[in-house]
Amino acid sequence: MKKLYFGDNLDVLKKMHNQYPTGLIDLIYIDPPFNSKRNYNILFESVALTDTKAQKEAFTDTWSNVSYLDTLNEIHSIDLNLYSYLNALDNIGISKSAVSYLTTMAIRIIYMHKLLKDTGSFYLHCDPTMSHYLKIVCDLIFRAKNFQNEIIWYYKRWSNAARNYQRMHDVILFYSKTDKYVFNVQYQEYSKPEAIEKTVRGIIDGKLVRLKDEQGKYIERTKPNIGVPCHDVFEIQHLQPTAKERLGYPTQKPETLLERIIKVSSNEGDLIGDFFCGCGTTVAVAQKLNRSWIGADISHLAVKLIAKRLIDTYGAEIRNNFEIFGFPKDISSAKELATGTMHGRLKFEEWIIEVMLHGVLNTRKNEIGFDGYLTFNISNKKETVLIEVKSGNATITQVNHFIKTVEYKKAGIGAFVCFKEQITSGMLQTAKRQGYYSEKTFGANYDKIQIISVEDLLEGNLIKTPVSFKTTFKSASKKSKEKDRYSTRDLF
């Protein structure tokens, strides 16, 4: 089982629980957004169409101060003790934001607990603002007797703290479902030689030895130096800005951290789950270590990034080895997205621009007059493709307005996207009359204004330009030196 889900992880968890009421997952690791009201961003090009980089708010931890009351009532029917704890916090002056966050997390952890096998383990990555509250939440759900470790992830990074100690660690809470949990002891190196001298110990040719104090000689041990069992302080370097595995996701965790957790608490072939999977480090490491995996995220950009990360690393053929759920796969589901939800139009535009076309959504479209854009480089010059998306009725008047916007912004190409049934001969003729993009230079015709149907996109027919688009995301390190070419259809 290898699956990616786009959507609210609570919906995914409940559906999976209905399908597997006795549990199916061997290890769950989550690194949820902290209750800090920060935005978690991926680097995109500037919406002002300059060469500078800007941040697009893609992974945002917003917790409703109203809807959490419904969730609290739901918890009341499942776990009275947990409800009493959260309700008490709500009544003693803890901020509504904090209680909302904890309630939102609690209902999800309840269902993660249900989905674990009896031999399963749960790791919760959290920061000091919430770890003490979350510890009690987990004690109530998993029972305190199944708390195994508070792991400290210690790292070194630049900090300019002025009125407190420099913060150099994260907290990871480790619970098991029962006392039958899997635990494969991993080993870490002995102390460095300087420390060894102080403790009258040494290493010669990879083997641990002890000094004879009176003679100053070494007695060689026969046991190879495999190190000592890992302790609960993980000294693993924080990802550096220039690290090969870095994808531009600010809270991205190093693969080494997940490798240790997955090796300790699972075996080859086991199923690993991450329901706040962000840029997909858990998924990537599970794949590398021959585990099955499930990933879920509420951001379509996250799911797209993970799919691209896997393809960049293993080649386009890996797309045949995992499923993606939550995106329209046919015209009827595309129409349902366009009309079926309160925010359907916006979600539809996001899907077309950011998922199908790998573009950037224009958050200032009311001021500028287009929904999104792409860029491509030709002859050391960056050109822009403006995108207009219509989820409802599309008219020739709208096409004419879009043409004026393309001219005003001096864009190389404009792409007008709508459903096939909305396209008229008049719209096609109007677009055709705008001519081509630099056809004399490149010896081929690329329509200046291209009218593309949603049906075309679902069949893999994208915007036509002289060269391939500049990718939105950074690429993960690739195992093979061969450069694979793939399209939207490879991703989804």
Q: Judge if 85 and 196 occupy the same domain.
A: no
Is residue 126 domain-resident? Answer: yes
102/229 Cα distance (integer angstroms): 34
343-350: long-range contacts (C-beta < 8 A, 24 or more apart)? 344/391, 345/391, 345/392, 348/389, 348/391, 349/389, 349/391, 350/300
Is residue 484 domain-resident? Answer: no
pLDDT computed for residue 41 by the predictor: 40
Q: What is the DSSP letter of 470?
A: P
Q: Judge if 315 and 257 occupy the same domain.
A: yes
End-to-end CA distance of the chain: 17
Of 325, 350, 384, the domain-final residue: 325
- CATH number of the domain to which 59 belongs: 3.40.50.150
Q: Judge if 237 and 363 occupy the same domain.
A: no
Q: Judge if 250 and 150 occupy the same domain.
A: yes
pLDDT computed for residue 438 by the predictor: 74
Is residue 481 domain-resident? Answer: no
Q: Judge if 75 and 27 occupy the same domain.
A: yes
48/51 Cα distance (integer angstroms): 9
pTM score of the predicted model: 0.76
Is residue 92 domain-resident? Answer: yes
Is residue 466 domain-resident? Answer: yes
Q: Judge if 234 and 223 occupy the same domain.
A: no
pLDDT computed for residue 490 by the predictor: 57
69/100 Cα distance (integer angstroms): 8
Q: Judge if 59 and 43 occupy the same domain.
A: yes
Q: Are 86 and 144 in contact (CB under 8 A)?
A: no
Q: Are 175 and 142 in contact (CB under 8 A)?
A: yes
pLDDT computed for residue 247 by the predictor: 67
Other Cβ atoms within 10 Å of 55 Cβ, number: 14
415/402 Cα distance (integer angstroms): 9
Domain count, the chain: 3
Rounded average pLDDT per 10-residue block, the chain, 492 residues: 90 96 97 60 43 41 62 95 95 87 94 98 91 96 97 82 81 97 87 48 50 52 69 84 66 89 97 93 96 91 87 90 87 82 64 86 75 85 91 92 94 95 95 84 81 93 75 52 46 59
Q: Judge if 308 and 262 occupy the same domain.
A: yes
Q: What range does the domain containing 335 cover?
A: 331-474
Is residue 157 domain-resident? Answer: yes
Q: Judge if 203 and 274 occupy the same domain.
A: no
Q: Judge if 102 and 241 occupy the same domain.
A: yes
Q: Judge if 236 and 169 occupy the same domain.
A: yes
Q: Judge if 364 and 335 occupy the same domain.
A: yes
Closest alpha carbon to 374 in 82, 141, 153, 49: 49
113/74 Cα distance (integer angstroms): 16
Of 228, 253, 288, the domain-final residue: 228
pLDDT computed for residue 220 by the predictor: 53
Is residue 487 domain-resident? Answer: no
- CATH number of the domain to which 351 belongs: 3.40.1350.10
Q: Are 246 and 474 in contact (CB under 8 A)?
A: yes
Closest alpha carbon to 354 in 452, 183, 191, 472: 472
Is residue 36 domain-resident? Answer: yes
Q: At what angle do helices 300-314 and 281-288 cross, to 10 degrees?
A: 30
Structure tokens at 411: 């864009």
pLDDT computed for residue 50 by the predictor: 44
